[in-house]
Amino acid sequence: MHLDMDAFFASVEQRDNPEYRGKPVVVGAMPGRRGVVSTCSYEARKYGICSAMPISEAHRRCPDAIYLRPDMARYVAVSKKVMLALGEISPVVEPVSIDEAYIDISGMERLIGEPVEIGRLTKLKIREVVGLDCSAGIGPNRLIAKLASEYQKPDGLVVIRPEQIQAFLDPMPVSNLRGVGPKARQELEQLGVYTVKHLKTYSLDVLRGYFGDNGGQHLYNQARGIALDQVGTKGGRKSISKESTFNEDVIDQRQLRECLRGLAAEVGRTARSKCLKGRVVTMKIRLDGFETHTRQKKLRNATSADGVVLNIAWNLYQESGFAGRPVRLIGLGISEWGGSEPMGDLFDDPEECKREEHLYAAMDEVTKKFGRGKLSLGLKKRD
């Protein structure tokens, strides 16, 4: 999902100064001086004023607009609140500017609902937190999400499903694509290329010939809705793990499994509270003499289910070759966040998935209310 605040600076001004509402507001340089428009309200856009326009030109078009210098400190404070609110929707938020961010919502349908619901919820939340409108676009990758958020501004919400990509892109002017500035646009127009549909008729070789290897490839990919970049966070949480150190070394298999069960419950609960699912389960073990080992297993389906994590960690322990040796510390964790991919697995049965989800939601609720360890799963061994 790409989220973009509508006419951000001007909207903050209109929010904080009711007398500016419904009027053309231009934030940027002051008329009579050099400089450009930074942001203008939608009322000002009706006069043909837009971002980056020389302020003299804006003033010529609408002398009666309200002209304001930007108050960055105030905008930054609002931006922080927006980004924090987004962090409550998904753990993977990548701010790209003061009023724009990409949010990874993959794999969240089961938690919140259809993508359009996630979009609606996000917009609602932002309105609650900062009292401002934004536009959201949702798509299979960042390119499509961004184009979708621009599509219905202001207060837009557009979801493009994979099968809709080409129909969405085809009529678009090529200048909507990334990296197509005035110069590239002119070159494309000289080739007779005005829309993405035109662009698609050119082979990769021809585009590379005109725009260089990278530029040509970039255009070729975009015309087909292909974008390989993923949404990421800087310093985002990479794993969730818990471990337990014993006062005395433990050999008893039942005791070890009980310990792992408790740890799996904590890892699962933490992951679910952050809407994270891991593709990799790690088991960590420390033997006498501080000899420490880890074992990992990569899953086809990302998970946050205690039972799945426990069974995999337990199998890793049993296959590690250390079973039967005195254990000082044991731990488990999940990492590599992701959604789930279709596979012929028990948990792919949608009914089963729903049951599992309800079960864990209810358990998390009880744990929240009555504390840890009051309720635990009676897990069957799956080996």
Residues forming contacts to Mg ion in the complex (CB under 5 A) are 4-5, 8, 99
Residue 11 vs 141, nearer CB to Mg ion: 11
Shortest spacing between CB 134 and Mg ion, in angstroms: 8
> Closest distance between Mg ion and the C-beta of residue 99, in Å?
4
Based on CB atoms, which residue is closest to Mg ion, 4 or 356?
4
Catalytic residue among 13, 43, 100, 266: 100
Closest CA to 277 of 299, 261, 296: 299
Whether 284 contacts 243, CB under 8 Å: yes
One-letter amino acid for residue 262 of the chain: G
Minimum distance, C-beta of residue 201 to Mg ion, in the bound complex (Å): 33
CB of 6 to Mg ion, least distance (A): 6
Tokens of 235: 């310093």
> What's the distance, Cα to Cα, between the start and end of the chain in Å?
40
In this structure, the chain runs to a length of: 383
DSSP 207: H
Residue 166 phi, psi (nearest 5): -65, -40
**Closest CB to Mg ion among residues 102, 211:** 102
DSSP string computed for 70-94 = --HHHHHHHHHHHHHHHHHH-S-EE
Minimum CB distance to Mg ion smaller for 150 or for 336: 150
Closest to 144 (Cα-Cα) out of 192, 171, 178: 178
The two beta strands, 134-138 and 100-103, are unpaired
Query: Is 100 in the active site?
Result: yes
- Contact indicator for 103, 121 with CB cutoff of 8 Å: no
Kindly state the smallest distance separating residue 129's Cβ from Mg ion, in Å.
Answer: 17
Phi and psi, residue 374, nearest 5° = -75, -25
- Pick the closer one to Mg ion by CB: 4 or 43: 4
Active site residues: 100
